[in-house]
Amino acid sequence: MSGIAYETVIGLEVHVELSTLTKVFCGCPTEFGAEENTHCCPVCTGMPGALPVINKKAVEYAVLAGLATHCEINRYSKMDRKNYFYPDLPKAYQISQYDLPLCKSGFLEIETESGETKKIRLNRIHLEEDAGKLVHAPNHSGSLLDMNRCGVPLLEIVTEPDMRSAQEARSFLESIKKIMEYIQISDCKMEEGSMRCDVNLSVRPASSDALGIRTETKNLNSFRSITRVIESETARQVQLLEQGVPVVQATLHWDEDAGETSVLRLKEEAQDYRYFPDPDLAPIHVDDAWFAHIQSFLPELPEARRKRFIEQYKLPADAAALLTSDAALADYYEAAAETSQSNLTACHWITGELLRLLKEKEVTVSDSPIGPGALGQLIQFIDRGAISGSQAKEVFDIMASTGESPESIIRSRSLVQISDSGQLEEIAARVIQNNPKSVGDYLAGKEKAIGFLVGQMMKESKGKANPKLAGEILTRLMNPS
C-alpha cells in the first residue's frame, strides 16, 4: 500500500418511469404487471410506417420535474433518435433527447453524513422511451420478449460528478424519489423497476482535483445494490491504481449474487449512437401559456413543507422531517392536526402509534385502517381528559381492527375516564386506608410514594381514574389544611 488517501467520485443517471396513463408515443396503457405483449401496438413495437405522436402529459411531467429541481427549461426542445441494436428495442433506435433536453442545469440539496447541506448539481433531465423486457428462460434454453414496457415514458436525470460516498448517493436518490412522489409524476417503485440507476464512478488521490477514469454500472434497482456497487467498485479501482494499472473506461454489469461487476462493453461514445433529430416528431415548443399552466401544477416541495411544519405547527425538527418524508403522510398529519386542534399530540400519535401500526400491517399511509379524521377525534378525547393514555391506546387498537369511530368505542365499552371528583375521593380514601405504610412514607417526605398510591387508584378503578386528578386528590386528602 502506498499510503495515499483516495476519494470516490460518483455521478448518477437516474431513470424514472412516468405515471402517465398511456405510453409516450402511442395510446397503449402503461400499467405494470399486465399479461405479456398485451399492451402493444404498431407504434410501440416499431412496425414500418407507424408514426409516433408525443404524449403531452409526458412533456408536462418532464418540465414539472425540472421546475421542482431548479432546472432551466428549454422552451424549444426536440426528440432525437439514439441508434443501437438490442433485442428489447424493436425499432433498433430509442427516441430520446440529445442536445436540447427539456431541462438543464439544476440542483438538489442533500444532507451529508456530518449533517451539512450539500448541493448536487443536475446536468440535465430529458424525456425518452423505455425498452421492452427480456425474460430469460431457465437453463439458457432461450429468451422471451415482453414488449409491454416498450414506449413507456422515462425521465433520465443526469447529475454532475458531485457525490463522494454511498451515503451521499443514497441521500440524493431518496431526495429525487421524494420530489417525484410529491409532484406525482412517478411512483418510483424500485422493486417494479420504475426507478433505476446507473452509477458512474471513478477514484482519485484525495489531494487531486482532476477526474479519474470512470466506469458506469448499469441498471441498479435497489439502494442495497447501489451501495454494494459503490463499495466494490471503489475498492477495485483503488487496487488497480495502487498497482499502477490504469482503470479502463467501460460499462459494467452488477451481479447481485456474486457481489461483483463484470464488463458488459467497452464504453461507447456519443458518436457511436449516430444521434439525429427524429423526423417523425415535430420540435417541442413550450410557449408562455403552456409554461404557466405547467407551473400551476407545482405543489409545495418537501424542503419547503418541512420548514413550514416547524414554523407553523412548532414541531421538533426530526418529527417535521419524518412527517414530510412522504407527501401522503404529510397530508395525513395536516388533516389530523386540523381535526384534533392539537399539533403536538397529533404529531406524537402519528410518529408513534400510527407508524407502528402501518409497519405491522405492512400498508402505506393511504391505506391506513385509521383515517386522519378518526385519529383527530381520538386526540380530542385525550386532550379533553375524557380518556386516559392507556385507554386511548386501547381505543386506537379497536379502531384499527374494527374501523369503529372513537366515540362509539368509548361509549359502547364505557371507557370514559373517571374525572368526577366525588367518585375519585371515595376511591382515594379507600386506597389511603388500605396502604398505611405508603401514606407514612409520603408523610415522612418520600415524594415517590404518591406514584404507588396513584397506581393503586388506577387498579381500584380498573384503569379508569384520571391519573392527574387522582394525584391531586390524594395529595389534598393526605395534607389536610
Applying CB under 6 A, the residues found at the interface with ligand ADP are 9-13, 158-161, 200-202, 211-212, 214
Q: Which stretch binds Zn ion (CB under 5 A): 23-31, 182-190, 221-229, 366-374?
A: 23-31
The x, y and z cell numbers of residue 345, run together, are 399530540
| Whether 404 contacts 398, CB under 8 Å | yes
Which own/partner pairs from 322-331 qualify as long-range (CB within 8 Å, at least 24 positions apart)?
Answer: 322/351, 323/347, 323/350, 323/351, 325/178, 326/178, 326/181, 326/365, 327/181, 327/182, 327/184, 327/299, 327/302, 328/364, 328/365, 328/366, 329/365, 330/305, 331/372
Q: What is the DSSP string of 218-258?
A: EEE-SHHHHHHHHHHHHHHHHHHHHTTPPPPPEEEEEETTT
> Which of ligand ADP, Zn ion, none does 303 bind, CB closer than 5 to 8 A by kind?
none
Report the residue number, 220 or 453, with the smaller CB distance to ligand ADP: 220
Using rule CB under 5 A, residue 41 touches Zn ion:
yes
Q: Which of Zn ion, ligand ADP, none lies near 397, with the C-beta cut-off 5 to 8 A by kind?
A: none
The nearest distance, CB 140 to ligand ADP, in angstroms, is 30
Q: How many CB atoms lie within 10 A of CB 349?
A: 24
72/268 with CB nearer ligand ADP? 268
* Pick 158 or 264: Cβ nearer ligand ADP: 158
Closest to 406 measured CA to CA, from 372, 381, 385, 369: 381
CB of 165 to ligand ADP, least distance (A): 13
In the complex with ligand ADP, which residue's Cβ is closer, 267 or 307?
A: 267
SS3 of 288, please? helix
User: Which residue, 241 or 465, has its beta carbon nearer to ligand ADP?
Assistant: 241
Q: Which is nearer to Zn ion, 26 or 374 (CB)?
A: 26
Give the shortest CB-96-to-ligand ADP separation in angstroms: 11
What type of residue sits at position 146? D
CB-wise, 88 or 260, nearer to Zn ion?
A: 88
286 binds, among Zn ion, ligand ADP, none (CB under 5 to 8 A by kind): none
Residue 344 partner contact from Zn ion, ligand ADP, none using kind-dependent CB cut-offs of 5 to 8 Å = none
- The CB-of-348 to ligand ADP minimum distance in angstroms stands at 42
Minimum CB–partner distance for residue 46 and Zn ion (Å): 10
Least separation in angstroms between residue 158's CB and ligand ADP is 5
Give the whole-angstrom CA distance, residue 66 versus residue 158. Answer: 12
Spatial separation of the C-alpha atoms in residues 165 and 187, rounded to whole Å: 26
Cβ-based nearer residue to ligand ADP, 69 or 200: 200
Distance CA 136, CA 148 (A): 16
Neighbours of 71 (CB within 10 A): 23
C-alpha distances out from residue 299 to 6, 118, 246, 296, Å: 41, 23, 47, 8
Is residue 26 a contact point for Zn ion (CB under 5 A)? yes
Q: Least distance to ligand ADP from the beta carbon of 152, Å?
A: 21
Q: Are 200 and 12 in contact (CB under 8 A)?
A: yes
Q: Does 240 bind Zn ion (CB under 5 A)?
A: no
- Please choose which of Zn ion, ligand ADP, none residue 201 contacts, taking the beta carbon within 5 to 8 angstroms, the exact cut-off set by kind: ligand ADP
> What CA–CA distance (Å, rounded) separates 436 from 133?
79
Site for Zn ion contains 147 (CB under 5 A): no
Residues 324 and 309 sit within 8 Å (Cβ to Cβ):
yes
* Minimum CB–partner distance for residue 239 and ligand ADP (Å): 17
For Zn ion, the closer of residues 133 and 170 by Cβ is 133
In terms of CB distance, is 43 or 453 closer to Zn ion? Answer: 43
With CB under 5 A as the contact rule, the residue among 9, 16, 44, 457 that binds Zn ion is: 44
Of these partners, ligand ADP, Zn ion, none, which one is at the site of residue 44 (CB under 5 to 8 Å by kind)?
Answer: Zn ion
Q: Which are the contacts of 454, defined by CB distance < 8 A and separation ≥ 6?
A: 465, 467, 470, 471, 474
> Residue 372: what are its φ and ψ, rounded to 5°?
-65, -30
Q: How far is the CB of 17 from ligand ADP (least distance, A)?
A: 19
Total residues contacting Zn ion by CB under 5 A comes to 5
Place of cell 418540465: 63
Which of the choices ligand ADP, Zn ion, none does residue 158 contact, using the CB cut-off of 5 to 8 A by kind? ligand ADP
Pattern 53-82, binding to Zn ion, x per CB under 5 A? ------------------------------
**Identity (one letter) of the amino acid at 454?**
V
Binding partner of residue 28 among ligand ADP, Zn ion, none, CB cut-off 5 to 8 Å per kind: Zn ion
282 by Cβ neighbours in 10 Å (0-12 / 13-18 / 19+) ranks as: exposed
Distance separating alpha carbons of residues 30 and 52, to the nearest angstrom: 16
Question: For the CA atoms of 25, 31, 32, 34, what is the dihedral angle to 10 degrees?
Answer: -100
Least Å from the CB of residue 39 to ligand ADP: 29
Minimal distance, residue 195 CB to Zn ion, in Å? 23
Q: Shortest distance, CB of residue 163 to ligand ADP, whole angstroms?
A: 9
Residue nearest ligand ADP by beta-carbon distance: 11
Q: Under the rule (CB under 5 A), what is the footprint of Zn ion?
A: 26, 28, 41, 43-44
